[in-house]
Structure formats: structure tokens, C-alpha cells
Amino acid sequence: MSGLETIKIIVDAEKEASRMLEEAQRKATEIRKQIDITIENKRSEALSSAKQKASEITERAENEGKSEAEKFERESSGKLHELVTNASSKKESAVKKLVELVLS
């Protein structure tokens, strides 16, 4: 093998290595772009899921709060009615006793 043939082989090998390096860099760039897209998609999915869960939790809490308020209102209304009834019966009893005292 002559010196020129050796140089030609080396030059060809360097060209092939350079081409392989460029191809590897191109593929690495494509992979990085795809990873960025995948990360953004996963991030969007996670945010969407979190918003949905937050909305569900808020709605459930609101419904539970309304139910609790309605229950409290019913109980309060019942107690108020009971107090008014008791007060009326005590008032009637007191009025009867007063009338009896005044008339006797």
C-alpha cells in the first residue's frame, strides 16, 4: 500500500466519521425536540388533571356545605318552632294564673 492510498483511506475514514458525527448530532437534536414536546404534553396533562380534580373537590365541598347549611336551617327552624310553642303554652298558663289571681 502506498502513502497516497493510505492518505486516501484516512481521508475517507475522516469523512465517514464526520458524516456519522453529523448524523448523530442531528438525531440527538431530534430526540431533544421530541423530549421537549413530550415533557410539555405531560405537563399539560398533569395541569389539566389537577384542575379537574380541584374543580371536583370544590364542587363536592360546595354541595356538602349546602347540605350542611340546609340541615342546620331545618334543625334551627324546628328548635325555633319548639321554643315558640313552649313560650306560647307558658304564656297561656301564666295568663290563666294571673286571671285567677285577679279574679280571686
State residue 55's pLDDT score. 97
Alpha-carbon gap, residue 19 to 6, rounded angstroms: 20
Cell output for 92:
297561656
pLDDT in tens, 26-37: 999 999 999 999
Q: Is residue 99 part of a domain?
A: no
Q: Which ranges of the chain does DSSP label H, i.e. alpha helix?
A: 3-103
Q: Is residue 40 part of a domain?
A: yes
Q: Is residue 36 part of a domain?
A: yes
Alpha-carbon gap, residue 21 to 10, rounded angstroms: 16
State residue 32's pLDDT score. 97
Q: Does the pLDDT of residue 98 top 90, yes or no?
A: no
pLDDT in tens, 12-60: 999 999 999 999 999 999 999 999 999 999 999 999 999 999 999 999 9
For residue 57, the enclosing domain spans 1-75
* Number of structural domains in the chain: 1
Q: Is residue 10 part of a domain?
A: yes
Q: Is residue 62 part of a domain?
A: yes
Closest CA to 18 of 6, 7, 10, 29: 10
Alpha-carbon gap, residue 24 to 85, rounded angstroms: 90
Q: Is residue 96 part of a domain?
A: no
Q: Is residue 103 part of a domain?
A: no
Q: Is residue 102 part of a domain?
A: no
